[in-house]
Chains A and B, each alone.
Chain A
């Protein structure tokens, strides 16, 4: 049934009818499968990929490397939870290697992000250090290359 997930991951706007045709299943089967995925939180949500740079909205994105002292019995989860609950945090991953958490933060301006780091993130108990990197340009996100609409430039020929 994972094919339905693949299709929705590529384009969540396909209707159940369309997905049924694509997969060769009945509409009822597709409906039931999607419902189950939603209930089990396999499908966590539906979003739209937007290139905000092309709009008038001002925003900046930063990737912050965070070093943390893990807690006895809880590892990193408790600290991570205190961090990812902030609405400014768009993504939060536990990492292997030289630091522990990647925290992706969005703000209106660089100052906003810097203040967030200084006032909310760096001061968390068990956070040892932070290192903030601002995103200058998004080339590709979620597997999609930005700023380049694929076009069909195949020439007509006789085959």
Chain B
């Protein structure tokens, strides 16, 4: 038996991540400033951690119901109402998942199979395409454009829709570009969607991290609410990545379908994390405000820094990424990132890791201390001026 042959061709054909090689380089190097990892640098606020510890002390070490603790679902329902004007019944419209990641997976597996098309705007989070392929469905990529501020436009959406389209992924606020969609932008998309038979999977995990106005959820549009699957979680807004906790909200029929996968593949989400999350929703909105204002300062410093270096950088308004264009350096994204890492010890991620149309860009994450960000900007400045003067010779 050739063990290689045992792996499904559809899995084998998914390329391993091209950026793994940078991680190997980073692990061998000292003094690297990483703007590479997409997670908060803040430690989970203490009251949340303490609630998790207390739940252990009390002996809450068992499974919860498949959908998750009722109290947590009720808190999520209240939170979504208070923050985004949404209405979800905690009884039958919410499942607590293992991060937004699991939610993306079960949403796609419940909805699409062979020949179904999933519209994926790119550049975006890598899991959408991966999970579409795992479900055996067909990713239909929409190349977002810098001149549209990386927003999904009705024109781009219309061009991508075919009779086989079953799902549209809405990845806003966006990783890796930092783009957001305003109420007006979404209204134009809803206008196209309302006459189509398809489901919107809206990944709003960065919804708390917006810097120029409150986030608008596509689920707040009554025309398509029942056809929207809302995905969110605790990782980014409450600095809880390691707790592995997210949730998915949808019409009861869709929730039922997703719950079948969830209960067999996962059983239930981590109990300790669920208790901690109740505390997060009840008592940590000030912590979120604090982190958001910190991120916003770093965002401004980074945008200013890249522009001063001479790299075009569109005004990222959400998440914690900026997405500067490096085409003026004459280097490819991967070349830029590898050289920058070797020569100046700064890790950023090549834009094409998030879709082919990300070529010519890099993703820099500002969930890092102000000190590190300032240092990294200086190093990137050195790097660019060194290579661009060479180019001019």
Among the 9-residue stretches B31-39, B105-113, B193-201, B226-234, the one with 4 or more Cβ atoms under 8 Å from chain A is B31-39
**Interface presence of A21 (CB below 8 A):** yes
User: What are 16 A-to-B residue pairs whose CB atoms are below 8 Å?
Assistant: A3-B293, A6-B293, A7-B297, A21-B301, A22-B300, A23-B297, A24-B300, A150-B369, A152-B369, A152-B372, A154-B37, A155-B37, A156-B347, A157-B37, A158-B20, A159-B126
A158 near B17 with CB under 8 A, answer yes
> Which residue of chain A has the shortest Cβ distance to B25 in the bound complex?
A156
Residue in contact with B23 in the complex, picked from A18, A24, A154, A156, CB distance below 8 Å: A156
Interface residues of B (CB under 8 A from A): 17, 19-20, 22-23, 26-27, 34, 36-39, 41, 125-126, 175, 293, 297-298, 300-301, 304, 347, 368-370, 372, 374
Whole-angstrom CA separation of A126 from B24 in the bound complex:
71
> Which residue of chain B has the shortest Cβ distance to A22 in the bound complex?
B297
A156 near B27 with CB under 8 A, answer yes
Write out, one digit per residue, whether chain A residues 12-26 have a CB within 8 A of any chain B CB (1) or not (0): 000000100111100
* Chain A residues whose CB sits within 8 angstroms of the CB of B39 once the complex forms: 154, 159
Whole-angstrom CA separation of A11 from B347 in the bound complex:
26
A159 near B38 with CB under 8 A, answer yes
* Chain A residues whose CB sits within 8 angstroms of the CB of B22 once the complex forms: 156
B304 near A156 with CB under 8 A, answer no
Interface residues of A (CB under 8 A from B): 3, 6-7, 11, 18, 21-24, 150, 152, 154-159
Apart from the given pairs A157-B23, A159-B125, 9 other A-B contacts in the complex at a CB distance below 8 Å? A21-B300, A21-B301, A22-B297, A150-B369, A152-B368, A154-B39, A156-B23, A156-B36, A159-B126
Whole-angstrom CA separation of A152 from B26 in the bound complex:
14
* Chain B residues whose CB sits within 8 angstroms of the CB of A157 once the complex forms: 23, 37
Residue in contact with A156 in the complex, picked from B37, B41, B370, B372, CB distance below 8 Å: B37
* Chain B residues whose CB sits within 8 angstroms of the CB of A21 once the complex forms: 300-301, 304
Residue in contact with A154 in the complex, picked from B20, B34, B293, B301, CB distance below 8 Å: B34
* Chain B residues whose CB sits within 8 angstroms of the CB of A3 once the complex forms: 293
A152 near B297 with CB under 8 A, answer no
Whole-angstrom CA separation of A150 from B26 in the bound complex:
20
> How close is B102's CB to chain A, nearest CB, in angstroms?
14
Whole-angstrom CA separation of A154 from B301 in the bound complex:
22
Report which residue of B27, B36, B175 has the largest number of chain A beta carbons within 10 angstroms of its beta carbon: B36
> How close is B98's CB to chain A, nearest CB, in angstroms?
15
The 4 closest A-B pairs by CB, nearest first: A22-B297, A156-B23, A159-B38, A21-B304
> How close is B376's CB to chain A, nearest CB, in angstroms?
12
Whole-angstrom CA separation of A158 from B15 in the bound complex:
13
> How close is A139's CB to chain B, nearest CB, in angstroms?
14
Supposing A3-B293, A152-B368, A152-B369 touch, asked if A159 and B300 sit within 8 A by C-beta, the answer is no
Whole-angstrom CA separation of A112 from B66 in the bound complex:
65
Whole-angstrom CA separation of A150 from B17 in the bound complex:
31
* Chain B residues whose CB sits within 8 angstroms of the CB of A18 once the complex forms: 301, 374
B301 near A156 with CB under 8 A, answer no
> Which residue of chain B has the shortest Cβ distance to A14 in the bound complex?
B370
> Which residue of chain A has the shortest Cβ distance to B297 in the bound complex?
A22
> Which residue of chain A has the shortest Cβ distance to B38 in the bound complex?
A159
Whole-angstrom CA separation of A155 from B27 in the bound complex:
9
Whole-angstrom CA separation of A16 from B369 in the bound complex:
19
Whole-angstrom CA separation of A11 from B297 in the bound complex:
13
> Which residue of chain A has the shortest Cβ distance to B125 in the bound complex?
A159
> How close is B46's CB to chain A, nearest CB, in angstroms?
11
Whole-angstrom CA separation of A21 from B306 in the bound complex:
12
